[in-house]
Structure 1
């Protein structure tokens, strides 16, 4: 690991980064002899393209083969209220949807 003072790093930043890219050795920047930052080489190879995001959601779980008119059950609200009333019927604090 190379140790470089902050002033020298500021003055020679581009050259130091080129050296780091060539040899892969991290640079520790110091201020008054104490380390304040570590500059590491990038983990991704330069010039290597990233994988395409196209097709990441290609899964049967994300398919929508339902017609828009079939998506909503006409009685969805009544069914929801019935399930909710059945779930809360034992607490003694709530009233049914019909009583509201």
Structure 2
């Protein structure tokens, strides 16, 4: 965690934003007192979250269940009575 005053932040903002992008937290101070914090955004995008869910399901479905011929007549809802 880096602690800087507001003048330092104004002069070197791009450098501090790169630090935050790299995962480091930056605390902004005025007269030695912390007034704000810049933290990295760790939320996942919707796409990344969906890909994680798909990866978790990988290997749990057998393609033959859907594609293989059953060689039997479909009985509609007779099985659910």
| TM-score normalised by L of structure 2 | 0.51
Instruction: Give the match's secondary structure for 1:28.
Output: strand
Aligned residue in 2 for 1:90:
none
Aligned length: 47
Q: Which of structure 1's runs of 4+ aligned residues deviate more than 4 A?
A: none
Q: How does 1:1-100 map to 2 (within 5 A)?
A: 1-22=1-22, 24-44=23-43, 50-51=46-47
Over aligned residues, Cα RMSD in angstroms?
1.5
1:8-40 CA-to-partner distances (Å, cap 9, x unmatched) read 111111111102222x12100000100010100
Query: Structure 2 CA distance, aligned partners of 1:41 and 1:20?
Result: 5
Q: Larger % of helix: which? A: 2
What runs of 5+ residues in structure 2 fail to find an aligned partner?
A: 48-81
1:45-87 CA-to-partner distances (Å, cap 9, x unmatched) read 6xxx524xxxxxxxxxxxxxxxxxxxxxxxxxxxxxxxxxxxx
Higher Rg: 1
| TM-score normalised by L of structure 1 | 0.42
- Tell which has more relative contact order, 1 or 2 (C-alpha 8 A, sep 6+): 2
